[in-house]
Chains A and B, each alone.
Chain A
Amino acid sequence: MLGTGILKGMAVTAKNFVGSYHDSEHPLTTSEYPEQRIAPKENARQFPFLVHDTEDAMKGLRCVACQICEKECPPQCIYIVKSKDKRADYKGQMQLYPVTFDIDLSVCMSCQICVEVCPFEAIKMDTEFELSNTDRFGGLLVNKHQLAKPNEHYRKIHPTEAAVSDASLAVEVAKAQAKAKADVEAKAKAAAEAKAKAEAAAAAGPIGTAPTAPAPKPTAPAAASAAPPAA
């Protein structure tokens, strides 16, 4: 019969309308935004931030101004100026740091490529999405003071990712410490060996048949082996 299809369709809309009030299977799908907020997903990404480890944000930035992100950024929205001097990073290695680190918010397309290419776990994506600004030019150019956020923030917004990142950094630190310790031990061992040999040579001096001539010899290789770790 003509019109049955239409009536069936009307029944569906009626069911949906009434259901939005009473039926738990057809609940309202919208939420009243500024009052009700849906928590962002863990993987959500909006705009990058720079991770810092210490209390003083500028001193603890992990960024070493290697400029890889600047080069790889598809819309070219990152601007970095390297420092002239070096400072110790989180594992005590001397590194450059960014004097200027700007990201143009109006150009950034939230693609996360800067995060992926960064070898230092220094830049990560924030989940903050209310980024509007009344200043059209200066307000949209975000500098390093505004970009810096502590590692705790990263742990809070991306717990799974941050755990992986922290673990890999801990491995790096452990490696660096182990290397430093090994260096110190090698140095100590070399020094001890040199001392022992010198003492042995000195002790052998009065008793042995050829006392004075070979005595300086053992000290020279010992000094050479101690030299590279010190450098």
Chain B
Amino acid sequence: MDAPANRTVQSVGQGREGELLEVAMGPQHPSTHGVFRMDVVLDGETVVKLKPVFGYLHRNHEKIAENTSYLGSMPYTDRLDYFCSLSNNWAYALSVEKLAGLQVPERAEYIRLITAELTRVLNHTCLVGFLLQDMGALGTPLMYAFREREKILDLIESLTGARMMCNYMRFGGCRCDLPAGWLDEAKKVVAEYPRFLDEFDKLLSGNEILMARTQGVGKLSAELAISAGITGPMLRASGVDYDLRKVDNYGIYSRYPFRVPLGDHGDVYDRYMIRMLEMRESLKLLEPALNDIPDGPVVDPKAKLRGFRPKPGEAYGRIESPKGELGFHLISDGSPNPYRYRVRPPSLINLTILEDMCLGQTIADAVITLGSVDIVLGEVDR
């Protein structure tokens, strides 16, 4: 068919220069790490305004917890940040222990430190893989990261019975003791892990494309980070020395020396490097802890599984989860259910700063900035 003679090809945007374009990225966009939406206003490719929209994965976690027993909320905490269920368990157990005044036996403290640090390694391994995926390094880095993650997941599975939904910690200790031979397996994994980190560093950290893509992108100043309540690797990448493991000295962290890596620029590259360095520090913590772990019970004999009713009161327990400060605020009225149960989720609060980091940058940079925040929507929306 011939086109009519008088018809000319016109570009869609002709005559509309300078107009702003509003794009809804998500909730089905593959780079938003789940069901998260960014309402972005674009001037060409530049971000003029960005509104994070969340709540698509809201599961009523806090209200469900107020209608179930203290123990019954433990498996639900696994489902907050589903990469780090053991850290979530610890934070919740810590706040209930504060509320009920339970003591954790020595061996359980060691198991908690070991599992929490394994979880940190696990989370950061996944994160660097996903971040590189967001940058367009499709497949290879993520595949290598997941190959290593599998080794830790195997350890966690043989200890807790589940790969991700561990439901392992209990008020006043842990659910069960380490299975036979577990420590040797763990030592082997920890000893071999630096080889993977070296490989990953060789693969990417010096890569010119990665540097050009991430340095100076998504900058966050220390002042803004502090005033917005940012915690975790995000805050430390901006150069603020604040790590709850050092500040609160919960568990047995004060017994082992470890360093807190800090960034200079607060850009995406710093956040990537912070995670790589934190993994090495976690491995340094794991090695002596795996050797020093004493024998003994793993749960406080005073702790009751059924009919657990803490005295009326209030408690806030917090830990340095791999994503930042994870806290549980509980109010008890003496009944078997908490009167109020509130989670302070690190990834939600770290996400609030997203617009400030993305303004004036291109839409592709917004994607990797979001990737470097390290969010898990299970925790953001709860």
Contact = CB atoms under 8 A, between A and B. Distances in A.
A74 B75 contact: yes
B206 A160 contact: no
A110 B209 contact: no
Interface string B56-75: 00000000000011011111
Nearest to B200: A12
A3 B175 contact: no
Contact of A2 (B157, B202, B208): B208
Given A5-B208, A12-B199, A42-B179, A72 B165 contact: no
B175 A116 contact: yes
Contacts of A29: 147, 150
Contacts of B165: 109-111
A2 B209 CA distance: 10
A9 B306 contact: no
A72 B71 contact: yes
Contacts of A160: 179-180
Contact of B305 (A3, A111, A117): A117
Contact of A112 (B150, B161, B205, B211): B161
A122 interface: no
A93 interface: no
Interface residues of B, number: 38
Nearest to A117: B306
Interface centre among A6, A111, A113, A160 (most CB of B within 10 A): A111
Interface in A1-59: 2-6, 8-9, 11-13, 16, 29, 41-45
A192 interface: no
Interface centre among B72, B161, B306 (most CB of A within 10 A): B161
Nearest to B182: A43
Nearest to B306: A117
A101 B211 CA distance: 60
B21 to A, nearest CB: 34
A43 B160 contact: yes
B306 A41 contact: no
Interface centre among B76, B162, B165, B210 (most CB of A within 10 A): B162
Contacts of B68: 74
Contact of B158 (A42, A111, A116): A42
Given A8-B202, A45-B161, A113 B306 contact: no
A13 B132 CA distance: 15
Contacts of B203: 8-9, 12-13
A63 B159 CA distance: 27
Interface in B148-181: 150, 154, 157-162, 165, 167, 175-176, 179-180
Contacts of A12: 199, 202-203
Contact of B167 (A2, A16, A72, A111): A111
Contacts of B305: 116-117
Interface in A73-119: 73-74, 109-113, 116-117
A74 B67 CA distance: 10
Contacts of A45: 161-162
Nearest to A161: B176
Contacts of B162: 44-45, 110
A32 B204 CA distance: 30
Interface residues of A, number: 30
A68 interface: yes
Nearest to B157: A41
B249 interface: no
Contact of A16 (B144, B154, B179, B204): B144
Nearest to A17: B140
B202 A43 contact: no
Contacts of B10: none
Given A29-B150, A42-B179, A113-B72, A5 B161 contact: no
Contacts of A4: 206
A44 B208 CA distance: 44
B207 interface: yes
Interface string B109-144: 000000000000000000000000000000010001
Contact of B207 (A5, A109, A117, A125): A5
Contacts of B175: 116
A18 to B, nearest CB: 14
B206 A5 contact: yes
A112 B167 CA distance: 8
Contacts of B210: 5
A125 B161 contact: yes
Contacts of B159: 43
Contacts of B140: 13
A5 B212 CA distance: 12
B157 A74 contact: no
B260 to A, nearest CB: 27
B150 A9 contact: no
Given A9-B204, A29-B150, A41 B161 contact: yes
A10 to B, nearest CB: 9
8 contacts: A8-B203, A11-B202, A41-B161, A43-B161, A44-B157, A72-B71, A74-B76, A160-B180
Given A13-B203, A43-B176, A113-B74, 10 more contacts: A5-B206, A5-B208, A12-B199, A44-B157, A44-B162, A45-B162, A68-B306, A74-B68, A111-B74, A112-B167
Interface of A: 2-6, 8-9, 11-13, 16, 29, 41-45, 68, 72-74, 109-113, 116-117, 125, 160
Interface of B: 68-69, 71-76, 140, 144, 147, 150, 154, 157-162, 165, 167, 175-176, 179-180, 199, 202-211, 305-306
